[in-house]
């Protein structure tokens, strides 16, 4: 699994519950963890997040220090990072930002994910934010207890610098998972949701 996030906490917020589920379902799963804007305290938090959500299954954690909010203006250098990844890992599954995300950093990471990995299964996760850009996802991962609470507990344990922000609230994260659980008729009432632009079933390459 290749997990891509523009900022510290993006991966964990967007697909943390699914990552915890995958480790339960597939004991041999391994994660490549890449965060593009993770300097100073935020870098230390990114490492803590990877430890909590990927644990011993994290094969590599790559942290970059691109300026938050300015990723599109460093596009060529960011693209170089993707080219480096392409030569290093051939993932079965990629988690990245939704292409319709209102944040410019998120959109660039999504665009370059598709530009670089053109023959891979890519799941685009969602990040709740002030912009009100939530879309209509088409793939759902039901989350049995205690995974929803575990996800939120890990978020607050890893990303202490974000706790003063009004949107960084248990109700935000549990509420979104509850909404997606309702939409997918999840037996537990909770789920994470993703956008899938292209999906091939069966066949040979």
- The average pLDDT across 175-192 equals 98
- Residue from 3, 69, 68, 79 nearest 39 by CA: 68
Name all domains of the chain by residue range, CATH numbers in brackets: 2-195 (3.40.50.10320)
- Could you tell me the sign of the dihedral formed by the alpha carbons of 126, 132, 137, 143, in that order? positive
Q: Which of 1, 81, 84 is nearest to 38 (CA)?
A: 81
Sign of the dihedral defined by the CA atoms of residues 154, 61, 19, 176, in that order: positive
The DSSP bridge partners found for residue 54 are none
Reported confidence tier of residue 194, pLDDT bands at 50, 70, 90: very high
Please compute the mean of the pLDDT values over residues 80-109 and round it to a whole number. 97
Q: How far is CA 42 from CA 68, 78, 79, 161, 182, in A?
A: 11, 19, 22, 8, 33
What is the residue whose two structure tokens read 């660039």? 108
Question: Residues with Cβ < 8 Å from 29, sequence gap 6 or more?
Answer: 1, 22, 23, 57
Question: Each residue of 38-66: pLDDT tens digit?
Answer: 999 999 999 999 999 999 999 999 999 99
* pLDDT tens readout for residues 116-170: 999 999 999 999 999 999 999 999 999 999 999 999 999 999 999 999 999 999 9
């Amino acid at each position: 699994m290749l997990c891509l996030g523009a900022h510290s906490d993006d991966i964990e917020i967007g697909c943390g519950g699914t990552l915890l589920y995958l480790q339960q379902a597939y004991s041999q799963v391994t994660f490549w963890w890449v965060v593009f804007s993770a300097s100073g305290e935020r870098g230390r938090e990114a490492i803590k997040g990877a430890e909590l959500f990927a644990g011993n299954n994290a094969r590599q954690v790559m942290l970059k220090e691109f300026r938050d909010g300015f990723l599109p203006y460093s596009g060529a250098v960011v693209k170089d990072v993707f080219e480096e990844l392409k030569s290093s890992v051939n993932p079965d599954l990629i988690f990245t930002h939704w292409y319709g995300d209102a944040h410019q950093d998120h959109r660039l990471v999504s665009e370059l994910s598709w530009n670089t990995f053109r023959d891979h299964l890519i799941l685009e996760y969602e990040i709740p934010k002030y912009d009100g850009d939530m879309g209509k996802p088409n793939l759902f991962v039901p989350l049995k207890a205690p995974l929803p609470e575990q996800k939120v507990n890990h978020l607050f344990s890893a990303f202490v610098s974000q706790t003063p922000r009004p949107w960084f609230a248990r109700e935000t994260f549990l509420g979104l998972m509850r909404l997606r659980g309702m939409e997918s008729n999840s037996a537990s009432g909770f789920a994470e949701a993703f956008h899938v632009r292209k999906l091939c079933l069966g066949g040979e390459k």
